[in-house]
Amino acid sequence: MTVGTTLPLLKDPQMQFGATTFFAKQHKGDTCGSNGLPLTPNSIIIVGRAQTLKTINCPYLCQYLDFIRGKHERTIVVSQYCGTPLAELIEKRRFEPEEIVQIAYQILEGLKVLHGRKIVHRTLSNDNILLQSSGDVKLFNYGLFHMSKFGSLVSFPVFQVLYTAPEVFLNGINRLSSDPKCDIWSLGVCLAELALNKVLWSSLKLGQKIRKILSMLQVNGSILEKIAREHNSYEQYLEMPEDLKEIIEECLNVLPSHRPTCDLLLKKPCFQQFKAKEGEGFRKICPPFEIFTIHELYHWWQLAGGDVLLELKKQGLIRSSPPILSLPSLVLIEGVVLGQDRNPATLYDPRIAQMPLDALYQRFAHIPFPVFYPLIHSKSEIIADADPPPYDATALPLVIKEKDPEYQLHRVILLRRLLHGYPFTKDFIVEQSAKDIPPLLRGEIWAALLNIQADYETTYTRIDKVTHTTTDRQIEVDIPRCHQYNELLSSADGHKKLKRILKAWVYQNSQYVYWQGLDSLTAPFLYLNFNDEGKAFACLSAFVPKFLHNFFLKDNSVVIEEYLCKFSQLIAFHDPDLANHLHEINFYPQLFAIPWFLTLFSHVFPLYKILHLWDRLLLCDSSFPIHIGLSVLTQLRDRLLTSGFNECILLFSDLPEVDIEKCVLLSTSTYQNTPRSVTSREHENGKFHKKDELDIVGLKLEELKKERCPRISANDVVNFVRNRPNDVLLIDIRNPTMYSRCSVMGSINIPFSSVSFSDNIIDNIGLHSAALKSKGHKVVVVIGDADTDLETFPTFLLQCNISKVCVLHGGFNRLLSVTPTVLTSNNAM
Amino acid sequence: MANRSGTAQRPNGQSQGKICQFKLVLLGESAVGKSSLVLRFVKGQFHEYQESTIGAAFLTQTICLDDTTVKFEIWDTAGQERYHSLAPMYYRGAQAAIVVYDITNQDTFGRAKTWVKELQRQASPNIVIALAGNKQDLANKRMVEYEEAQTYAEENGLLFMETSAKTAMNVNDIFLAIAKKLPKNEQNTGQGGSVQGRRLTEGNTEPKTGANCCK
Ligand SMILES: Nc1nc2c(ncn2[C@@H]2O[C@H](COP(=O)(O)OP(=O)(O)OP(=O)(O)O)[C@@H](O)[C@H]2O)c(=O)[nH]1
Ligand SMILES: [Mg+2]
């Protein structure tokens, strides 16, 4: 491998994939279930069931990559596909007994993984055992029986006649379950073909083949011997080494109960040599770090223009026929259709379309080798200079960045490495997430941002998710209404998972109760961790205390009211015009913003928008949502300003298109430009917001509700005076005597008593009105004391459309104790 | 959106007939089909996967009744018991209410009765209440008999209809029946912004009381 090009790395022969396609069974006639809801299309159920297959990672199994729904219940399965099917080699080359034993071992290891997950292959045959150039084998298409719910969701039989165990026929092929032992029989047939080097009964017709298999039930002696004799291979049978013969004969036992399991077979002495070898390799405590995974390659391939559907059409696996050809001859009034030829496409199509990777190779040809080995911790200047300049896409819009294959290559390589080092690398992950989060790794990155620990799975397993509770009805009626446009969430498996997670959450949080909306809040986590319920649950469990502390109390009214008050105050702080207008028309957040904050917009926006919004939210604190709320109002500002109450409320009942990237930008900007204490709340989680006596504590809701401008803490004011005096305008409204005795450095004095509040005219305050008019972005802090009215003056400023007005909490006296002092005094104290 | 605000701002100087505005609130257990009924009435649509309502949603619709134009300002509330504390904020000052239950679920009928009682006690004394037995299209799974509900409605002076948001059966009719029963005197004729503003203020100023209700 030469330094400088990465192609040999990418062109790994095992890093190839292909697609197969079939039709799910269409629902007949009645399309409504017993609850009055439409039946979920079978293809969606399949896609939901199939997800778990993506998590199977075993060197002897091809990895599943994607499941796509096409038109008319078409289902497309994308999976790793590399090597040559054994069926193509039989009778063409010799298989040495040692080689066959190794193949047997690897198939058994693969089957063991499947059976351990209660997945039955059911279609194991030499057509889908792929021999690699390394000599290893990989099973392909082993998930069809599972994803089709034991064949019940498709209209073709899921088995390979010749390889199918006799009991499958005897029990009826439509039985809704299957004993894994049938795979052992199939293995026996596969091995027999290899050992005899004969394609078995190739000349027989379908019915004859079935009869042939059933005839095995009558055989008294060795089935292998009978097969050998029927194929003129008795000699090979005799020459076969005993250990191999024994394996095949045990597999071909007609009684499933007497047929051995994978585990039992793997105990055979002839397999021990392989076990020892593997011990050295990948059975280490920690799996080796992969430079990139086939999932990533598939992702980049798609970004680089790869399109599975298009490829299937190109290669003739998807063909459209003119609709007129599928018209029935007769339709009865009850809807029974007669004389319609069965569409051959509804049968099983064994063809596999290999996906061409050339375009991707070309696209990545120039990428320098070091990109795959990013330096994370420190880079000396020498190295940094020698490196090619980093691929810079920071300035591009988010949607473009997410679709740029090269950028995503960089991001995925870097972030998976960082995730590998989690939790030690948490700070780096935060730093990188602030740029953007690569969609492929979002689930894991979110979990890291939420500090999810490695033991989350045990916790989840231990929780009772089954026992009936009074909340169940509500959860059950909410789930079929929750983000159902999404395939995963609308699938049967999605419903089951969401229900379990919600029940677990209710069980685990006895201080809280289920509020409608919690379903929507959970949806993004389930969507991102569809194959890892425990992690979805852990994320939800970490998310709620951080962002929605006490929102799900049985009586949450004070928490929500305080939150909405702070929202109103934030609007007043940043956008007085809007705040005044909304105030005038009595348009309160209570009327529209409860679903916003209770579900952090997950009930308001579609999933893809929530993901981008939460990408940023997760990096901020619990005040961020009100900044998002403000950013939504800002986007609709012009309409709101010219509308009355009814039009405003209508606007929010059916929220118009909101640009999420703009939301993120706007809310991040106000979030950064708002002193922290302006949004501080009594009811925020003390764990995340530590406070001292110079912060705002003890503010009662009744008081808060009267104040249209927010308060600011002494801590923040001190910080302004010391570090950013040019960003603040301090207005002391005490009487001039007190002001001249002692005042805050740089403050101006506008005695409360000197101002006439009759009209909202800023000039009424006299001399200093100019300072206010030209204040720009400065924060205006009103400082008073116990004797001054702390509502009228700031409200007056607000009504004069002065922005960023806030009131020092605790008044002037709060600053007396601060050392070193921020006060200046004229006479010695 | 544009259309709708257009309707909302219907000029009141129309030559023929008068315009009346009424505030109407929908109450009832979760998932009985309140939002679906409103959606059918306002937009003529039905969504199988209608999202659940959190807090409340506001919509308007105008219908013509002889020489009067009746404009409904509809508050569609959240059905879950927990959101109960918010309900008074919406039904306060309402001139009409539709209490909805699901004919395939007996519990929702019980809950509807509770709502009726609460309205009779707490809402404006002249409020027109209609009872809607929704999901009539699922009559083969009926758990609440028509007669039972009708008797209850008669005893309590309620309008009553079985409806289906899915097939649109009786949806417009129930709103129409309410419109007919509402008094169309001067007080309710919309005179533009000021009346609107005042009435809504009345309706919204007491969230405190609302919060207390949950205990
Ligand atoms: N078959 C049938 N289903 C209906 C009908 N009306 C509503 N539904 C379904 O019932 C479910 C609940 O309807 P919603 O309108 O969301 O109920 P809701 O009363 O607004 O519920 P909350 O917002 O939770 O209070 C949805 O899945 C609707 O599709 C109907 O007339 N017939
Ligand atoms: Mg609703």
Residue A210 pLDDT more than 80? Answer: yes
Does residue B186 lie in a domain region? Answer: no
* Best mutation site among B29, B35, B36 for ligand 1 pocket (most ligand atoms within 8 Å of CB): B36
**Tokens describing residue A329:** 């001859």
The pLDDT of residue A827: 56
Do A671 and A408 touch, CB atoms closer than 8 A? no
The pLDDT of residue A568: 97
Q: How confident is the model at residue B44 (pLDDT cuts 50, 70, 90)?
A: very high
The pLDDT of residue B11: 44
Contact list, A474 vs chain B (CB under 8 Å): 30, 80
Q: What is the pLDDT of residues A764-803, one digit of tens each?
A: 888 888 889 899 999 999 999 877 788 889 999 999 999 9
* Best mutation site among A34, A37, A476 for ligand 1 pocket (most ligand atoms within 8 Å of CB): A37
Cite the DSSP H helix spans in A575-713: 576-584, 594-598, 607-617, 624-635, 637-641, 645-653, 660-672, 701-706
Residue A709 pLDDT more than 90? Answer: yes
Residue A383 pLDDT more than 70? Answer: no
Distance of CA A641 to the CA centre of its chain: 38
Q: What is the mean pLDDT of residues A111-123?
A: 95
Contact list, A519 vs chain B (CB under 8 Å): 52
Q: What is the mean pLDDT of residues A513-534?
A: 96
The pLDDT of residue A387: 64
Residue A116 pLDDT more than 90? Answer: yes
Does residue B107 lie in a domain region? Answer: yes
Does residue B194 lie in a domain region? Answer: no
Q: Which of A588, A465, A591 is nearest to A537 (CA)?
A: A465
The pLDDT of residue A379: 64
Q: What is the pLDDT of residues A390-431, one digit of tens each?
A: 677 778 888 899 999 999 999 999 999 999 999 999 999 999
Do B153 and B133 touch, CB atoms closer than 8 A? no
**Tokens describing residue B79:** 């059905």
Residue A755 pLDDT more than 90? Answer: no
The pLDDT of residue A4: 53
Amino acid identity, position A535: K
What angle separates helix A405-420 from helix A442-449, to the nearest 10 degrees?
A: 40
Distant-in-sequence, close-in-space partners of B192: CB < 8 Å, separation ≥ 6: B12
Q: How confident is the model at residue A347 (pLDDT cuts 50, 70, 90)?
A: confident
**Nearest-angstrom CA–CA distance, B64 and B176:** 9
Residue among A513, A594, A645 minimizing CB distance to B55: A594
User: Domain holding B109: CATH number?
Assistant: 3.40.50.300
The tokens 């909405």 sit on which residue? Answer: A564
* B82/A554 touch (CB, cutoff 8 Å), yes or no: yes
Q: Which residue has the higher pLDDT, A641 or A372?
A: A641
Does residue B25 lie in a domain region? Answer: yes
The pLDDT of residue A6: 74
Ligand closest in space to the Cα of B37: 1
The pLDDT of residue A66: 97
**Nearest-angstrom CA–CA distance, B185 and B192:** 16
Q: How far is the CA of A600 from the centre of ligand 2 (A)?
A: 19
Q: How confident is the model at residue B198 (pLDDT cuts 50, 70, 90)?
A: very low
Least confident of A6-20, A285-299, A397-411: A285-299
Does residue B82 lie in a domain region? Answer: yes
Is the bond preceding A388 in cis, omega lying within 30 degrees of 0? Answer: no
The pLDDT of residue A630: 98
Give me the residues paired with residue B27 across strands.
B99
* B58/A650 touch (CB, cutoff 8 Å), yes or no: yes
**Nearest-angstrom CA–CA distance, B202 and B215:** 23
Q: What is the pLDDT of residues B180-196, one digit of tens each?
A: 999 877 555 543 332 33
The pLDDT of residue A287: 62
**Nearest-angstrom CA–CA distance, B32 and B78:** 11
Which residue has the CA at smallest separation from atom 24 of ligand 1?
B30
Q: Which of A751, A740, A745, A763 is nearest to A788 (CA)?
A: A751
* A594/B30 touch (CB, cutoff 8 Å), yes or no: no
Percent of chain A residues topping a pLDDT of 70: 93
**Nearest-angstrom CA–CA distance, B203 and B201:** 5
DSSP annotation string for A497-529: HHHHHHHHHHHH-TTB---TTHHHHHHHHHHHT
Amino acid identity, position A570: L
Q: What is the pLDDT of residues A31-49, one digit of tens each?
A: 666 666 778 899 999 999 9
Domain that includes residue B126, residue range = 18-181
Q: What is the mean pLDDT of residues A571-581?
A: 97
**Nearest-angstrom CA–CA distance, A643 and B193:** 11
Residue B201 pLDDT more than 50? Answer: no
Q: What is the mean pLDDT of residues A740-762?
A: 88
The pLDDT of residue B204: 40
H/E run at residue A17: strand A17-23
Q: Which atom of ligand 1 is nearest to the CA of B49?
A: 27
Q: How confident is the model at residue A378 (pLDDT cuts 50, 70, 90)?
A: low
Does residue B23 lie in a domain region? Answer: yes
Contact list, A654 vs chain B (CB under 8 Å): 1
Q: Which of A86, A77, A185 is nearest to A127 (CA)?
A: A86
**Tokens describing residue A246:** 């024994």
Distant-in-sequence, close-in-space partners of A334: CB < 8 Å, separation ≥ 6: none
Total number of domains in chain B: 1
**Tokens describing residue A646:** 């009814």
Residue environment code for A568-591, b if the CB has 16+ CB neighbours within 10 A, otherwise e: bbbbbbbbbebbbbbbebbbbbbb
Do B131 and B160 touch, CB atoms closer than 8 A? yes
The tokens 């009103």 sit on which residue? Answer: A782
Q: Which residue has the higher pLDDT, A320 or A150?
A: A150
Percent of chain A residues topping a pLDDT of 90: 72
The pLDDT of residue B29: 96
**Nearest-angstrom CA–CA distance, A445 and A451:** 10
* A653/B59 touch (CB, cutoff 8 Å), yes or no: yes
Residue among B56, B80, B138 minimizing CB distance to A36: B138
Q: So what's the ipTM on this one?
A: 0.83
A692 φ, ψ to 5°?
A: -125, -170
Does residue B208 lie in a domain region? Answer: no
Does residue B191 lie in a domain region? Answer: no
Q: How confident is the model at residue B14 (pLDDT cuts 50, 70, 90)?
A: very low
CA distances from A656 to A97, A608, B128, B143 (A): 69, 16, 33, 40
The pLDDT of residue A31: 63
Residue A382 pLDDT more than 80? Answer: no
Q: How confident is the model at residue B4 (pLDDT cuts 50, 70, 90)?
A: very low
* A586/B86 touch (CB, cutoff 8 Å), yes or no: no
Q: What is the mean pLDDT of chain A?
A: 90
The pLDDT of residue A370: 77
* B214/A647 touch (CB, cutoff 8 Å), yes or no: no
Percent of chain B residues topping a pLDDT of 90: 62
The pLDDT of residue A279: 59
Q: How far is the CA of A553 from the centre of ligand 1 (A)?
A: 26
Does residue B110 sit at the A interface (CB-CB below 8 Å)? no
Contact list, B83 vs chain A (CB under 8 Å): 515-516
**Nearest-angstrom CA–CA distance, A195 and A94:** 9
Q: How far is the CA of B34 from the centre of ligand 1 (A)?
A: 6
The pLDDT of residue A285: 54
Residue B23 pLDDT more than 50? Answer: yes
Please state whether beta strands A711-712 and A805-808 pair in parallel, antiparallel, or not at all (unpaired). Answer: parallel
Q: Which of B144, B213, B174 is nearest to B72 (CA)?
A: B174
Q: What is the pLDDT of residues A526-546, one digit of tens each?
A: 999 999 999 999 999 999 999
**Nearest-angstrom CA–CA distance, A262 and A615:** 45
Q: How far is the CA of A486 from the centre of ligand 1 (A)?
A: 19
Q: What is the mean pLDDT of residues B167-176?
A: 96
Residue A761 pLDDT more than 90? Answer: no
Pocket lined around ligand 1, Cβ cut-off 6 Å: A 36-37, 480-481, 516; B 28, 30-36, 48, 50, 52-53, 78-79, 134-135, 137-138, 164-166
Does residue B168 sit at the A interface (CB-CB below 8 Å)? no
The pLDDT of residue B10: 42
Least confident of A82-86, A134-138, A771-775: A771-775
Residue B212 pLDDT more than 80? Answer: no
Contact list, A37 vs chain B (CB under 8 Å): 48-49
A520 φ, ψ to 5°?
A: -65, -35
Distant-in-sequence, close-in-space partners of A396: CB < 8 Å, separation ≥ 6: A404, A407
**Nearest-angstrom CA–CA distance, A681 and B16:** 54
The pLDDT of residue B205: 38
* A477/B31 touch (CB, cutoff 8 Å), yes or no: yes
Do A755 and A765 touch, CB atoms closer than 8 A? yes
Residue A604 pLDDT more than 60? Answer: yes
Q: What is the pLDDT of residues A163-183, one digit of tens each?
A: 999 998 888 776 767 789 999
Residue A574 pLDDT more than 80? Answer: yes
Count CB pairs under 8 A between chains A and B: 114
Least confident of A16-30, A663-677, A797-811: A16-30
* A555/B214 touch (CB, cutoff 8 Å), yes or no: yes
pTM of the model: 0.90
The pLDDT of residue A442: 98
* A646/B60 touch (CB, cutoff 8 Å), yes or no: yes
CA distances from A322 to A69, A139, A319 (A): 21, 37, 10
**Nearest-angstrom CA–CA distance, B94 and A73:** 48
Question: What's the gap in Å between the CA of B8 and the closest CA on chain A?
Answer: 7
Distance of CA B137 to the CA centre of its chain: 21
**Nearest-angstrom CA–CA distance, A341 and A335:** 16
Q: How far is the CA of B118 from the centre of ligand 2 (A)?
A: 20
Least confident of A314-318, A596-600, A783-787: A783-787
Q: How confident is the model at residue B8 (pLDDT cuts 50, 70, 90)?
A: very low
Q: What is the mean pLDDT of residues A337-359?
A: 83
> Which long-range contacts link A753-758 to residues 24+ away (Cβ below 8 Å)?
A755/A793, A755/A796, A757/A792, A757/A793, A757/A796
**Tokens describing residue A482:** 């929750």
DSSP annotation string for A625-642: HHHHHHHHHHHTHHHHHT
Q: What is the mean pLDDT of residues A748-773?
A: 86
Contact list, A649 vs chain B (CB under 8 Å): 58
**Nearest-angstrom CA–CA distance, A297 and A4:** 20
B90: closest chain A residue by CA: A591
Distance of CA B55 to the CA centre of its chain: 15
